[in-house]
């Protein structure tokens, strides 16, 4: 580096004790970037007998440094005389392609739980997979494409889940894992359009749905058939009733219906035990109080919203939109400035978003540009990584398990990426 390059005084700190260095100020050339700063930290650590180099990322005022220090100082209007406090963290390794699960048609929805993956397909079926990618079962039942799926309860030998379809119904299923048999407990009837989204509450006793009919509905997630009405309306002959008695599927009606959206409801998520958030083709995100049975807030956008995800860790929402942006919202904000950040990198409609279940800063997004991206809210100008592999548009993403990022696409594939999230991210400030 040129001798006449101006220098900057910096102080380093970290929340990862393994990598702590003395907090005394250092004088560094102003034209250094993250590579040189990483080398400097490694040099300081090597004095303490640390083996090998570690890649670090650097944050100033809570935002990742992505330019050289002199450019950063100029952008922020900071004097080179000031001492810069720089936080450093071990850089996240790139997610690794792990598996690609082939379906017979478009993969429209997916969700993982502890050991299994549930997917919905345009061939009218739902599918069960092991998290390692083994096909366990293909489940017919719907008469049109399956548009949404969600796990419900899990115990020692059974799991239950719900599937929603373009056929305007939802089916509640119980899966006997040991015998690998599924049983349809009931059909949920009440929507007058495609059922495009479903979300199960934290206690797993209710679920909410949104539909192309603009309605939001609340249902019981109970597995007891006694609460349901029979599909038998009394018009069938006695012999036909007898023949179908054993295979009869009971109907379930909603506990609550709420209207307010002026176009189809595209996504739904629980914020807490009594509030849900919906996203819609009417360019709004709405928050509903189910206990009071009313809408409590509206966030206005400029284009169609396709998906929304809520992080209990940061208590913020990310929303995917047709204008190619992902936006970060604080639903608690009372000052009107609800958009806290925008993330722009996709070249097509952003169709899905999902927060990390263990990291308050990270989320993924999937788009019609066929790419899934990993974002950190501390780096709004650029994603951390692009995950490529789909040969057609992405239709859904899921990050229910910390170590698995997944996307479903119009190339009939469900892509799985393995991810090793750093423990530093668990620190919720």
For 17-64, the pLDDT digits (tens) are 989 998 889 999 999 999 999 999 998 888 544 556 889 999 999 999
Homologous superfamily, domain 96-418? YVTN repeat-like/Quinoprotein amine dehydrogenase (2.130.10.10)
CA–CA dist 346, 350 (Å, integer): 7
Residue 87 is predicted with a pLDDT of 95
Q: Please say whether the beta carbons of 199 and 193 come within 8 A.
A: no
> pTM to 2 decimals?
0.90
- C-beta atoms surrounding 95 within 10 Å: 22
What residue segments make up the domains of the chain, in order of their start? 7-90, 96-418
Whether the pLDDT of residue 281 is over 90: the answer is: yes
Min mean pLDDT across 149-163, 168-182, 238-252, 350-364 is at 238-252
Whether the pLDDT of residue 153 is over 50: the answer is: yes
Q: Please say whether the beta carbons of 125 and 145 come within 8 A.
A: no
The answer to whether domain 7-90 and domain 96-418 are alike in fold is: no
Q: How far is CA 324 from CA 96, 318, 369, in A?
A: 25, 13, 10
Whether the pLDDT of residue 348 is over 80: the answer is: yes
CA–CA dist 290, 274 (Å, integer): 5
Please state the φ and ψ torsions of residue 40, each to the nearest 5 degrees.
-65, -45
Q: How far is CA 182 from CA 126, 164, 196, 292, in A?
A: 11, 16, 23, 36
Residue 344 is predicted with a pLDDT of 93
Classify 7-90 by CATH class: alpha beta
Of the pLDDT bands very low, low, confident and very high (cuts 50, 70, 90), residue 381 is: confident
Residue 349 is predicted with a pLDDT of 97
- Provide the CB-side half-sphere exposure for 262 (13 A, CA): 6
- Nearest alpha carbon to residue 88 among 46, 135, 50, 41: 41
Q: How many helices (H) and strands (E) does the chain have?
A: 3, 34
What is the residue-averaged pLDDT of the chain? 90
Residue 338 is predicted with a pLDDT of 74
């Amino acid at each position: 580096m040129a001798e006449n390059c101006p220098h900057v005084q910096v102080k380093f700190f970290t929340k990862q004790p393994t990598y702590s260095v003395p907090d005394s100020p250092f004088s560094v050339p102003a034209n250094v970037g993250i590579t040189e700063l990483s080398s400097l930290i490694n040099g300081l650590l090597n004095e303490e007998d640390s083996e090998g180099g570690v890649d670090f990322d650097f944050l100033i005022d809570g935002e990742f440094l992505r330019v050289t220090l002199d450019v950063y100082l100029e952008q922020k209007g900071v004097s080179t005389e000031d001492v810069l406090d720089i936080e450093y963290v071990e850089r996240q390794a790139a997610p690794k392609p792990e598996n690609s699960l082939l379906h017979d048609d478009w993969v429209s929805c997916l969700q993982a739980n502890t050991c299994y993956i549930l997917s919905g397909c345009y061939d009218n079926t739902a599918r069960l997979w092991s998290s390692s990618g083994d096909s366990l079962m293909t489940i017919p039942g719907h008469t049109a494409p399956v548009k949404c799926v969600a796990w419900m309860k899990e115990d020692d030998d059974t799991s239950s889940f719900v599937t929603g379809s373009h056929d305007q119904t939802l089916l509640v299923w119980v899966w006997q894992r040991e015998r690998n048999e599924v049983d349809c407990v009931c059909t949920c009837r009440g929507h007058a359009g495609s059922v495009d989204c479903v979300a199960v509450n934290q206690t797993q006793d209710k679920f909410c749905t949104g539909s192309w009919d603009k309605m939001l509905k609340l249902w019981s997630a109970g597995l007891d058939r006694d609460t349901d009405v029979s599909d038998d309306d009394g018009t069938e002959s006695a012999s036909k009733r007898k023949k179908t008695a054993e295979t009869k599927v009971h109907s379930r009606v909603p506990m609550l219906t709420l209207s307010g959206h002026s176009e189809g409801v595209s996504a739904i998520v629980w914020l807490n035990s009594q509030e849900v958030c919906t996203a819609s083709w009417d360019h709004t995100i709405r928050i509903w109080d189910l206990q009071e049975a009313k809408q409590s807030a509206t966030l206005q956008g400029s284009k169609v919203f396709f998906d929304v995800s809520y992080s209990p860790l940061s208590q913020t929402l990310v929303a995917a939109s047709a204008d190619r942006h992902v936006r970060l919202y604080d639903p608690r904000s009372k000052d009107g400035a609800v958009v806290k950040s925008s993330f722009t990198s996709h070249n097509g409609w952003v169709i899905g978003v999902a927060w990390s279940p263990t990291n308050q800063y990270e989320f993924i997004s999937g788009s019609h540009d066929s790419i899934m991206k990993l974002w950190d809210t501390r780096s709004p100008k650029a994603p951390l990584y692009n995950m490529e592999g789909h040969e057609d548009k992405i239709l859904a993403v899921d990050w229910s398990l910390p170590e698995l990022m997944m996307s479903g696409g119009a190339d009939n594939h469900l892509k799985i990426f393995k991810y090793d999230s750093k423990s530093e991210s668990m620190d919720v400030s």
